[in-house]
Amino acid sequence: MTESSGLARPAVVPGSFDPVTLGHLDVIERAAKLFGRVIVGVAVNAAKEAVFGLKARIELIQDCAAHIPGVEVRAVPGLLAEFCRQVEAIAVVKGLRGGQDWGHEEPMAIVNRELTGIETVFLAAAPTWGHVSSSLVKDVARHGGDVSPYVSPGVRQALIDRFGSGGPPRL
Ligand code: PNS
């Protein structure tokens, strides 16, 4: 079954968003400018154990993407390609931070196209965010570092709630 709402076909920006960073937000904003309508698809990456639950990850994105017109946030319950078919997506959009991201993203883009024909469009990450990842942000937060250059105030607070705000460890 597919959605036939009369709305423009959306682009899907998928990820595990554990948690969403300002780099993700830049890609979401640019995708919304290009495609007009974006569904941010919060999915399970079987290779990663999430720190934040699905509901929390969705709410954090809703909070920091509220100012971007045309964006909604949904859970992807199973295969991304199947979700894209159900929402009649025009494309998947992902940000690329150089060669190591390409090695990881290329096979997924090919498999998604083989599964349901969905194409993936890659946006080059803005240099400001090229070094930022959810894993790095969690590691900084875990050790009491300041993550405010990399995430929204809401995500920073969620990281403090999760890991504490003890400041840098004393040596
Ligand atoms: O932000 P991430 O962790 O790099 O995103 C990867 C993600 C979640 C988009 C990918 O693991 C995914 O699509 N998961 C949903 C299940 C699925 O479709 N797996 C097959 C991918 S080819």
Spatial contact of 37 and 7, defined as CB atoms under 8 Å apart: yes
Spatial contact of 141 and 159, defined as CB atoms under 8 Å apart: yes
The structure's pTM equals 0.94
pLDDT per residue as tens digits for the range 93-148: 999 998 889 999 999 999 999 999 999 999 999 999 999 999 999 999 999 999 99
Tell how far the Cα of 42 is from the centroid of ligand 1, in angstroms: 9
Instruction: Choose among 99, 144, 143, 149: nearest CA to 122.
Output: 99
Look up tokens 């979700």; give the residue: 83
Q: Which is the closest atom of ligand 1 to the Cα of 81?
A: 18
Tell how far the Cα of 170 is from the centroid of ligand 1, in angstroms: 38
Domain positions in the chain:
3-160
Active site residue 48: yes
Active site residue 24: yes
pLDDT of residue 142: 96
Name the closest-CA residue to atom 6, ligand 1. Answer: 15
Query: Which of these CATH numbers, 3.40.50.12160, 3.40.50.620, 3.40.50.1220, 3.30.70.3400, describes 3-160?
Result: 3.40.50.620
